[in-house]
Structure 1
Amino acid sequence: MKIFYGVQGTGNGHITRARVMAKELQQAGFDVSYQFSGRPAEKYFDMEIFNGYRVKEGLTFNTAKGQVSYLKTALQASPVQFYKDISTLDLSAYDLIISDFEPVTAWAARKQRRKVIGIGHQYAFGHNIPRKGSDPIANQVMKYFAPATTGVGLHWHHFGQPILPPIIETPEFPANIQSDKIVVYLPFEDPNYVLSQLSCFENFEFHVYSPEPVVSKFANIVSKPLSRAGFQKDLYDCAGIISNAGFELASEALQLGKKILVKPLHSQMEQISNAAALEQLGYGRTMYDIQPAVIEAWLHNHHAMHITYPNVAKIVVEWLQQGMVEMDQAFIDNVWESVQILPVAQ
């Protein structure tokens, strides 16, 4: 079976999920062509598993100082190029089309009257899940950014809805954790400001990853460039993460039993809703601005949850192999029955 797989390239969460899917698709013998959009071609890294992938401009959100600007997003969009990319993407040679919230693929499929499977966290918002910070623009963006004929939504909990657990790597629980080590990933914030706000916590060691890292002049802070291997190594033995409220990193942290503090992007309904879900489930804490008092309280609070999720990528690939029959309640319940939720012993 030949598959065309489009992946949203803004941020790294979609790409992280696609890496896990790519491994399972490859093992199952699928012939997959990958397309990414949402960032310049030179900004992608560690992409070896997506052999021969292509890049399109697509659509992305304008962010500055931790906030999404829908006006600037609209102004920087290139509708002529976007329409051209949609019109020139020929999907006729493919048996199956998948979009991880990637708009060029999704809209090209709709234009060619082809079915498209949407796999990702955003497709969970078609169901009754925790939602906060919603407004008419955000609702329309979520609905029409990358529409799918069949959505496979993902979340940390089912909330009584037909959605699946996260698609993530499922490594062994770390045997040794460095109790003072914190991984920080706030790519939409001013890195100099982030470092200055963390510098006063001298009893902790911060590993700060940024798209454009700045030199750290603080003994307790290591500033690092984006690297999948380096990030995973630090994530594995750290005590906790401070990040924006993206879905994939929090999912990995829960799988590894890390405590979580999120700072959602202002005016970004998905991230604000993610933060609300983490609070509701008791899986993490939230700050809406970078607040040293909140950070300090969180650093000295050892509450963390260890959630063992199944290999959802393999489950989805087997579902594709079996003809994509409707995921009924029995199917959904069977997947969630294997999820275990335990507090992390301190």
Structure 2
Amino acid sequence: MTRLSHLTRRSLLKNSDYKMRILYGVCGDGFGHSSRAMEIISHLQKKGHKVLVFTFGQATSVLKNAGFRVVEVEGLELIFKNNKPSLKETIINNSGRICRNLIDFYRIKKIVDNFSPDICISDMETVVPVVSFFYSLPLVSIDNQHIIAHLKMKVPKGYKKDFYLTKIGISGLLKADAFVILSFLKKRTRKENVYIVNPILRKEILLLKPKIKDKVLVYQTKPDKRLIKILRKIPEQFVIYGYNMQKKEGNLEFRKVQDKFFENLSDCKAIIATSGFSLISEALYLGKPYFAIPLKQFEQELNALFVMQSGYGEYSEKPSKKKIEHFLANLDFYRKKIKRHKINPKEAFAVIDRVLKKVKKEYYI
């Protein structure tokens, strides 16, 4: 398909039945971005829209295997050293990625011209916002990170430096026409182009019928040998993901990510994991107490603080045997608190539909 002129596109989009061509950028770090993108893209395609995905890293195979049309680009990634984000390594690594995207400019341009998008969506991905700018296309941001940039929040003293650095980074990442922000809590905002919605849950989660069995689910983004040593000393059964191996060692059962993850998530009595937004959302929906071990980045620290302050579990950057045992001894208390937390998994899709319609009208009609 050849690139449409602005006038031709405006003429087509005046027709309310016209289905849009959407260029969707998905951050490839971890599985949280790709898991919610799968649900959003499926929803958009059911509405008749055509979607082309730009992504990188782990999300590339995940979204390709789901049957979506995917183009791999060089995305910006957070680089870890000794289980901590490294600013120096991140800058060095991403400088090379930016250069490779510049070298690859004509391939990307050809793909964009052939697809001829009407609108762009970005979930913390950086190439699609650049495309939006150069092609003068409307951009919608859909993620949970922008809550840091757009809402006022009380930040504990020890986290203020991380908060302001993160806020500056996120605010400078992209300039969108609308922001759909996924949040644990329903907060109000006076900004007309900012919409706060409930988390998006995978369809597999919505189909689960949770039970409480004897195992504790453990999930780590990066392997943590220190945590494994602690868990060996605790008289509980742990099923562990994130170490890319399949074996049983005493009270520890290691599994690869795709192996019975939903089953174990549904049946576990508690979760010990890094404090990613998506997994915490799923845990709360299923009623599972959560021991959060945040990565050294403010968004994860913010999620972990929410878990602890809400009474849904505990939080520690350096978990000890004592802290984990205290958590496991108080699961009934956390479950009672979690019962009060309500999630409407359909809300985000209705808001996304409304925002796309509004942006289309403001931009083209």
Query: Please, what TM-score do these two structures have when normalized by structure 2?
Result: 0.79
- More displaced stretch, 160-169 vs 46-55: 46-55
Partner-residue secondary structure (3-state), 2:36: helix
**Does the aligned pair in 2 maintain the 1:168–1:312 contact within 8 Å?**
no
**Does the aligned pair in 1 maintain the 2:25–2:53 contact within 8 Å?**
yes
**Which digits, 9 at most, give the CA deviation of each residue in 1:313-338, with x for residues without a partner?**
43134325643499xxxxxxxxxxxx
**Does the aligned pair in 2 maintain the 1:131–1:276 contact within 8 Å?**
no
**What letter matches 1:27 in structure 2?**
K
**What letter matches 1:60 in structure 2?**
E
Distance 2:44 2:105 in 1: 25
Written as runs of structure 1 = structure 2, the 5 A alignment for 1:208-219 is: 208-210=240-242, 212-213=244-245, 215-217=247-249, 219=250
Distance 1:108 1:86 in 2: 10
Q: CA deviation at 1:87?
A: 6.7
**Does the aligned pair in 1 maintain the 2:28–2:75 contact within 8 Å?**
no
Quick check: which one's helix share is greater? 2
Partner of residue 238 from structure 2, selected from 196, 200, 206: 206
* Aligned CA-pair RMSD: 2.6
**Which digits, 9 at most, give the CA deviation of each residue in 1:259-291, with x for residues without a partner?**
01101112x111111112222333332011132
Partner of residue 185 from structure 1, selected from 197, 204, 219: 219
Structure (1 or 2) with the larger CA radius of gyration: 2
In the alignment, which residue of structure 2 is the partner of 1:318? 353
Partner-residue secondary structure (3-state), 2:358: coil
- More displaced stretch, 79-88 vs 281-290: 79-88
Is 1:63 aligned to 2:91, yes or no?
no
Q: CA deviation at 1:108?
A: 2.4
**Does the aligned pair in 1 maintain the 2:31–2:58 contact within 8 Å?**
no
Distance 2:64 2:266 in 1: 21
**Which digits, 9 at most, give the CA deviation of each residue in 1:38-84, with x for residues without a partner?**
4595xx34743342312112110011343211111001121311334
Distance 2:278 2:210 in 1: 22
**Does the aligned pair in 1 maintain the 2:294–2:317 contact within 8 Å?**
yes
Distance 1:87 1:320 in 2: 31
In the alignment, which residue of structure 2 is the partner of 1:241? 271
In the alignment, which residue of structure 2 is the partner of 1:10? 29
**Does the aligned pair in 2 maintain the 1:102–1:146 contact within 8 Å?**
no
Give the direction of change, closer, same or farther, for the CA distance of 1:87–1:240 in structure 2 (3 Å limit): farther
% identity of equivalent residues: 25
Which ranges of structure 1 fall in alignment gaps of 5 or more residues?
327-346
Partner of residue 111 from structure 1, selected from 134, 138, 159: 134
Is 1:52 aligned to 2:85, yes or no?
no
Give the direction of change, closer, same or farther, for the CA distance of 1:129–1:324 in structure 2 (3 Å limit): farther
**Does the aligned pair in 1 maintain the 2:289–2:313 contact within 8 Å?**
yes
Q: CA deviation at 1:9?
A: 0.9
Is 1:99 aligned to 2:131, yes or no?
no
In the alignment, which residue of structure 2 is the partner of 1:152? 180
**What letter matches 1:289 in structure 2?**
K
**Does the aligned pair in 2 maintain the 1:97–1:117 contact within 8 Å?**
yes
**What letter matches 1:168 in structure 2?**
L
Give the direction of change, closer, same or farther, for the CA distance of 1:258–1:130 in structure 2 (3 Å limit): farther
Written as runs of structure 1 = structure 2, the 5 A alignment for 1:1-346 is: 1-39=20-58, 44-45=61-62, 47-77=64-94, 78=96, 79-85=98-104, 88-90=107-109, 91=112, 93-125=116-148, 126-129=150-153, 131=155, 133=159, 134=162, 136-161=164-189, 162-169=195-202, 171=206, 174=209, 176-178=211-213, 180-190=214-224, 192-202=225-235, 204-210=236-242, 212-213=244-245, 215-217=247-249, 219-227=250-258, 230-266=260-296, 268-302=297-331, 303-304=334-335, 305-306=338-339, 307-310=341-344, 311-320=346-355, 322-324=357-359
Distance 1:76 1:214 in 2: 31
In the alignment, which residue of structure 2 is the partner of 1:343? none
Distance 1:142 1:216 in 2: 41
Which ranges of structure 2 fall in alignment gaps of 5 or more residues?
1-19, 190-194
